Chains A and B, each alone.
Chain A
Amino acid sequence: MALPPYATPGQRIWHFCYLTICALVLFFLVSPLIVVIPLSFNSAPFLHFTPEMLTLDPNGYSTLWYKSLFGMCDAEGASLWTSCTDKWKVGAFNSVVIAVMSTILATSLGTLAALGLSRDHVPFRRAIMGLMISPLIVPLIITASGMFFFFAKINLVSTLPGIVLAHTILGLPFVVITVTSTLVGFDNTLMKAAANLGGSPAYNFFKIQIPLIAPGVISGALFAFITSFDEIVIILFLGGPDQHTLPRQMWSGIREEISPTILAAATILVLLSIVLLTTLELLRRRSERLRGISPS
């Protein structure tokens, strides 16, 4: 944003401050993520830069912690530090299973809820909407403890369905919000046109409405996936030994054995997030291009 030629000295100073503030915000946001990446290639079992690393000595770097992350403990010297375990692998697998299942549930339920709530004749729309969004607002620890006592009564604690359900509830608000906002721009005349041309309601829903609101559905699904994948509080409350997820492993890794394996895991998660966010942005652009159709 360039300054216009008529800017006053005050505006020039403010503009400079504004750029500085932006730079600082971005720096503090990004630097913790960036610094993790080189550290994860550390050859020594420390969470700080060794002198070898700082002098760019190749001996200071290794992929040891990635191997340890994937349970490949062939490195002879490092085994002293690396508890040779497949806990990371198991954790990642569990996380993916739970995240995928809860994403599927949250996406289908959330999309249907958003479709229903976007109709004029549904009573108490705002109240229902508020209720569905509430997991975003209520402190997670309260949700988690509430769920613990409730799930304990119906024998869902320490079970896979219990965790999936809990994560579904956490992911639901994202799907409802993104799909609802996509539906605001959805032209209902298209559904009338489709009906007029002979398509049954179900046919039109899958052929016309779903493809057109897909960007909203997919971004909601991505948010739901990330929410479940990152989730630690609920898993600590509700998870049993069989629900050992990646965040849980990181949590215990930090507490019990301080090893750069956690940095390798973090790096992989950062890369995964970048891929997901890029997908989101591409989808958003695609949907905006499609929206460009409506005349007047």
Chain B
Amino acid sequence: MNGNDSLVRFVNIQKSYDGETLVIKNLNLNVETNEFLTILGPSGSGKTTCLLMLAGFEPATHGEIYLKNQPINRVPPHKRGIGMVFQNYALFPHMTVAENLAFPLDVRGMSKSEKTQRVKRALDMVQLGGYGNRQPAQLSGGQQQRVAVARSLIFDPDLVLMDEPLGALDKNLREQMQYEIKSIHQNLGITVVYVTHDQSIALTLSDRIAVFDDGIIQQCAAPDVLYEQPDNAFVANFIGENNQLFGTVVEDIGDTVKVDVNDGHIVEAKKVKVEGIGSRSTLSLRPERVIVDPEPHSLPNVFLAKTKQLIYLGDHIRTRFSICGTDDFIVKIPNSAVHAAISEGDEVNIGWKAEDCRALDVWPCPTSHL
């Protein structure tokens, strides 16, 4: 990709805190203008470090970060003009809400009338119209979070960073706030880089998600691509629910490979990331892509499975099968008349298409963390 018109470019970034271990191994990432990019990863994966480097609070050990094609490694945080929302809100406790919002405007020497006007507009944007004279401590967690979001936007930055801003909120509030953040992003046309470990937030909000693990980007793609077409076993496992079968590649037929899973069953799967005949592979299959009791000969992969457990979840029945050497094969069966008859202990045929089953690398790979 030609990244010269990207808003932010990480070029060959490496980061080490202690001079020995690389937290970020080699980061090349472009953030496009008006994009909502989420950096998603487990804790300790280096995702917050990326954000801190972008905001200027941590220097990169090696490599260069470009903002609007200007290298910013030597620009101090207060001159970068990047907005940021912190996980603990970081509102100034000794100032009122309005004073908090006016802080970035004071710094920029804005006139009093313009300041008042902007503060009012920002408060209206986050639906806190009458709250300007309150102290932050008098607001609820959700309201504080809104003030923090408003404060990060009030000086019209091109880029806003968000570091797990919804982490401290309860579930309902978190869902409500994530829609508000999404609509703010769409209305203002800003660029957002969002860091989280919560995949549902990432899938809801993002234009693109960079899945981070072990100091490198495992895959960077739109949410649907990430879910439907994971590049490797880590991504397949990390995003959504996933059945895994382990086996050895026995035959390579162009787009697909045949994999011998442990007990001698041959599974045909889409070739995504396998090294060739004889190599080990993880087969990844989404629970909702499995068809129970398929038409004979309609699918390349049909196996007899023993029903281990049924969990009634209203709209679907989560069923655990024993198949191909694993006892932990999950299938989501829609709650319709067609499939109502299965009960625990039954043996049924289940099958899936070759293209729904992706042959990936072996995970956890040896270099990965524990």
Contacts and interface: CB of A to CB of B under 8 A. Distances in A.
B103 A189 contact: no
A200 interface: yes
A199 B94 contact: no
Contacts of B88: 187, 189, 294-296
A152 B357 CA distance: 89
Interface secondary structure of A, over-half rule: helix
B84 A201 contact: no
Contacts of B144: 295
Interface string B57-87: 1000000000000000000111111111010
Interface residues of B, number: 33
B94 A193 contact: no
Interface string A269-296: 0000000000000000000011111111
Contact of A196 (B78, B89, B92, B137): B78
Given A190-B92, A194-B92, A196-B82, A290 B77 contact: no
B155 interface: yes
Contacts of A207: 103
B91 interface: yes
Interface string A194-216: 11111111011001100110000
A3 to B, nearest CB: 37
A293 B140 CA distance: 10
A14 B103 CA distance: 57
B89 A192 contact: no
B103 A289 contact: no
Describe B's contact surface by its main secondary structure. Answer: loop
Given A197-B155, A295-B88, A296-B168, A211 B78 contact: no
B149 interface: no
Contacts of A290: 93-94, 137
A289 to B, nearest CB: 7
B269 to A, nearest CB: 44
Nearest to A289: B137
A292 B91 CA distance: 12
B277 interface: no
A286 to B, nearest CB: 10
B151 A197 contact: yes
- Residue in A194, A196, A204, A290 whose Cβ sees the most chain B Cβ within 10 Å: A196
B90 interface: yes
A256 to B, nearest CB: 52
Contact of A195 (B77, B92, B93, B94): B77
Interface string A99-119: 000000000000000000000
A293 B93 contact: yes
Q: Number of contact residues on A: which range applies?
A: 20 to 34
Contacts of B92: 190, 193-194, 208, 212
A118 to B, nearest CB: 17
B239 to A, nearest CB: 27
Given A198-B81, A295-B88, A203 B137 contact: no
Nearest to A192: B57
Contacts of B137: 289-290, 292-293
Contacts of B155: 197-198
A193 B107 contact: no
Contacts of A203: 107
A186 to B, nearest CB: 11
Interface in B33-59: 55-57
A113 B103 CA distance: 28
A119 to B, nearest CB: 14
A285 to B, nearest CB: 14
B334 interface: no
Interface in B344-367: none
A290 B80 CA distance: 30
B107 A199 contact: yes
Given A192-B77, A193-B86, A198 B104 contact: yes
A191 to B, nearest CB: 9
Given A212-B94, A293-B136, A194 B168 contact: no
Contact of B86 (A189, A199, A208, A291): A189
B347 to A, nearest CB: 50
A52 to B, nearest CB: 55
A143 B279 CA distance: 78
Contact of B90 (A193, A198, A289, A291): A193
A201 B89 contact: no
Choose among B83, B92, B135, B151 the residue with the greatest number of A CB atoms under 10 Å from its CB: B92
A292 B144 CA distance: 13
Contacts of A291: 93
B171 interface: no
Q: Of residues B94, B144, B152, which shows the largest number of chain A Cβ atoms within 10 Å of its Cβ?
A: B94
Contacts of B78: 195-201, 204
10 contacts: A189-B88, A192-B55, A196-B55, A196-B80, A198-B78, A198-B79, A198-B104, A199-B104, A199-B107, A293-B136
Interface of B: 55-57, 76-84, 86, 88-94, 103-104, 107-108, 135-137, 141, 144, 151-152, 155, 168
A-B pairs with lowest CB-CB distance, top 3? A193-B90, A197-B104, A293-B93
